[in-house]
Structure 1
Amino acid sequence: MGVLDGYRVVDLSIAMAGPLAAMRLGDLGADVVKVEPVTGEWQRHAPAGGATGKRVNASFLSLNRNKRSLAVNLKSDEGRAIVHKLAATADVFLQNYRPGVAERLGMDYDTISGLNPAVVYVSMSGYGETGPYLSRPGQDLLLQAMSGAMLSTGRDGDPPAPAGTYAIDAITAYSAFEGALAALLHRERTGEGQRVSVNMLDAAVAVQMQELSIFTVGGVPQRRGREPHGHTYIRAPYGVFATKDGYLALGMPRLDALAVALDLPELAGMDGDADGHTRRDEITAMVARRLPERTTAEWLEICARHDLWAGPVYGYADLVADPQVRHNGSFVTYEHRTEGTVTTPGFPYGFSATPPEVRRGAPLVGEHTRELLEELGYPPERTAELVAEGVLACED
């Protein structure tokens, strides 16, 4: 039994940020009902990396475990009525429609809260729900570019570098997850539901609280140097360096200790905080010239001996085989109805009394339509009629 056992989440979201937020609520025990079109949610048909799967692609699997699927046509009066009836039973209602779509479909806050005043209604958008960018597409790469973060790494003159993850989607998802939990706590104390608004732009700004405060409060601009550097606001050396057989990550080591470890006496007299910024390119170049003389494993042993922050650079094959990752149980493995044995990233939190678990894999389109309609009081004959009319889809 999870910490949110007994709570119901109605998830009308698509793509990554919304489904990830809803999945995290499901991981904690909530009954998450994924409301999707009769043809299936967009992510089912856009497999990331081309990993198509048998009937469920890998990207959809990764974002939709612990959910039941209700496949319904929201453009029909009967379809909207079904979802309204479902919303009346919900603790959390989540959507990330483009501006204006929720209102047109009758899934907006005023409508849903009118049916269920105690509901926590989570609305997710790209740039906010008012303002000059209302019609802009809220896509991860576009928000990364706008956030300023792409110019906090790399070398002067290099192109801006995107993150190797869907960083803004994930940050937005966790903001929505956090907001839903906080609003549920408020409701437990007061009995009052409310609207929670989350947007990708504000999430991208908020996660850079240190960097942007250095700029707004300290007045220090972003300065990319001549040498590749991991972060414009962190002193050298900071970044990834080539070794004899691979790469080594170095995280702002003490210069006096680094001087001994790398046999670079020139570093010994430097001030880490002052010279680490003003002589960043010079320090980076010295370290970059020295590290190819030994293997990554040799440098890791030397750095550990001198208490320097260093680590290996992994690919995914290295990551999944890492002993700490295995010890932590960072991945979960379970049996899926059509995909067989599935291994995906697990849970980013632990609870001593109410641990998260995989109760069900990502659903097929409409896999739970019949049971959900039965829970809402629809007789089987009426459900069959609605399937025949195209209002619903079922996985039989």
Structure 2
Amino acid sequence: MSDSSTRGILEGYRVIDCSIAMAGPFAAQRLGDLGADVIKVEPTAGEWQRFASAGGAAAAGNEINVSFLSLNRNKRSLAVDLKSDAGREVVRELIAGADVFLQNYRPGVAARLGLDYETLSALNPSLVYVSMSGYGEDGPYKDRPGQDLILQAMSGAMLSAGREGEPPTPAGQYLADAVTASTAFEGVLAALLHRERTGEGQLVTVNMLDALTTLQMQELSVYTVGGVPQRRGTEPNAHVYIRAPYGVFATTDGYLALGFADLEKLGEVLDEPTFIGMDAEVHGWTHRDELYATVARHLREDSTQHWLDTLLPAGMWVGPVYGYEDLVNDPQIIHNGTFVEYDHPTEGRVKTPGFPYRFAKTPARIDRGAPLVGEHTGEILAELGVDSERIQQLLNSGAVAQTGAAVPA
């Protein structure tokens, strides 16, 4: 674990994380990375993602599968039955002294549990309440499942790349979830800043469809303001709104990404006389498919490293197409410290992506790995002032659950 001598930028703030899957837990984890005390409220049997891991990677070592491990570091687990009156009362007691409440329940569930904004803000007027959904809190799609691939498809972005007439290609990451998580993270920080200035909490709503749509600020403005239609060509140019050559090209041993090349210089390097005299900003649009095909023919004749060694010195914007093995071992990634390693009590030595930001005085850090189900139930209840007798009663009734630790005396 990291050195705890420095103070986290959100130290002293308490976040109640009642979210599941990826977007909500990822947003809450970011808050924990900055020092917030994040309490993950999950069912007594554990959140479902403890049992369903991406890629079939069921477990990194012993008890916690990879998906849960990757999205729940720097959190404590309170395992509680929210269907029981006693369980709901425990969570309300916790929220009364919290700073942030985060949930991504299906529409209507929060209200049925007595965890809706109106109820909790009456209990704690300074609470920042974050509600995440697929499409919005209301409207014609509010009851639809908000799944990453579906939102990518509806965002319009898939039809900005690839060949006309061929199936669209989804992003190679869980883009909708990740962008929504970052959007929620921004929303929490902004609402906390407002609270610091005014003392009042507020409701923050985030949905996946809006998050992905607003991410395309430039592209969609080209359509809505500039009136340029989204039109794919016969060659797989990497984006409909960027001139050729712009895309991924096969080499003899892999792939190369090339963008925004000066056609005159590229023609000299490739010994392609047809490029000489071409204006990139004119011909790059009017001859997009032809230019792409010509560049592709040349780049297929040599290795990726050859073209990097040739095109980079010529001032071209070019880079290799990495797989994960290449990325993890890249010298810049290593230099940046992009991945972090820490020891987990059940999973051993863990290596995962770290933090996308740097703070000179209040660095992000890992104080604990992902918790076992209810690992901190007794600890959290004791902090609330619940005595050991009541804790034991709650455990005996099944209203809460605990793994691994004794009931605090």
Q: Equivalent residue of 1:249, what SS?
A: strand
- Please point out which of 88, 99, 102 is paired with 1:91: 99
1:104 partner letter: R
Q: Equivalent residue of 2:120, what SS?
A: helix
Q: Equivalent residue of 1:293, what SS?
A: coil
CA distance in 2, matches of 1:24, 1:91: 15
CA-to-partner distance for each residue in 1:38-59, whole Å, 9 max, x for gaps?
A: 0111211111111111211111
Match of 1:11 in 2: 17
CA distance in 2, matches of 1:224, 1:136: 29
Match of 2:312 in 1: 304
- Deviation of 1:246 (Å): 1.1
Match of 1:244 in 2: 252
CA distance in 1, matches of 2:213, 2:56: 31
CA distance in 2, matches of 1:361, 1:383: 25
- Please point out which of 335, 346, 353 is paired with 1:345: 353
- Please point out which of 223, 226, 229 is paired with 1:215: 223
Q: 1:26-175 counterparts in 2 under 5 A?
A: 26-53=32-59, 54-175=62-183
Match of 2:3 in 1: none
CA distance in 1, matches of 2:281, 2:210: 31
Q: 1:182-221 counterparts in 2 under 5 A?
A: 182-221=190-229
CA-to-partner distance for each residue in 1:198-247, whole Å, 9 max, x for gaps?
A: 00010011001111101101111111111111111111111110112111
Moved over 4 A (4+): none
CA distance in 1, matches of 2:48, 2:214: 28
Match of 2:31 in 1: 25
CA-to-partner distance for each residue in 1:268-296, whole Å, 9 max, x for gaps?
A: 22221121112110000000100011111
- Deviation of 1:383 (Å): 1.2
1:57 partner letter: N
- Deviation of 1:37 (Å): 0.5
Q: Equivalent residue of 1:32, what SS?
A: strand
Tell me the percent identity.
67
Match of 1:321 in 2: 329
- Deviation of 1:381 (Å): 2.1
Q: Equivalent residue of 1:231, what SS?
A: coil
1:170 partner letter: A
- Deviation of 1:160 (Å): 1.2
Normalised TM-score (structure 1)? 0.99
Match of 2:344 in 1: 336
Q: Equivalent residue of 1:127, what SS?
A: coil
CA distance in 1, matches of 2:222, 2:279: 20
Aligned residues: 396
- Extract unaligned runs of 5+ from structure 1: none
CA distance in 2, matches of 1:268, 1:96: 56
- Extract unaligned runs of 5+ from structure 2: 1-6, 405-409
Normalised TM-score (structure 2)? 0.96
Give the alignment's Cα RMSD to 1 decimal.
0.8
- Deviation of 1:254 (Å): 1.3
Residue range with higher mean Cα deviation, 382-391 or 141-150? 382-391
Q: Equivalent residue of 1:141, what SS?
A: helix
CA distance in 1, matches of 2:259, 2:66: 34
Q: Equivalent residue of 1:288, what SS?
A: helix
CA distance in 2, matches of 1:84, 1:268: 71
CA distance in 1, matches of 2:86, 2:354: 37
Match of 2:232 in 1: 224
Residue range with higher mean Cα deviation, 33-42 or 377-386? 377-386
CA distance in 2, matches of 1:127, 1:174: 16
CA distance in 2, matches of 1:300, 1:46: 41
CA-to-partner distance for each residue in 1:66-89, whole Å, 9 max, x for gaps?
A: 000000000111101000000011
CA-to-partner distance for each residue in 1:4-55, whole Å, 9 max, x for gaps?
A: 0000000000000000100000000000000000011121111111111121
1:393 partner letter: A
CA distance in 2, matches of 1:120, 1:274: 51
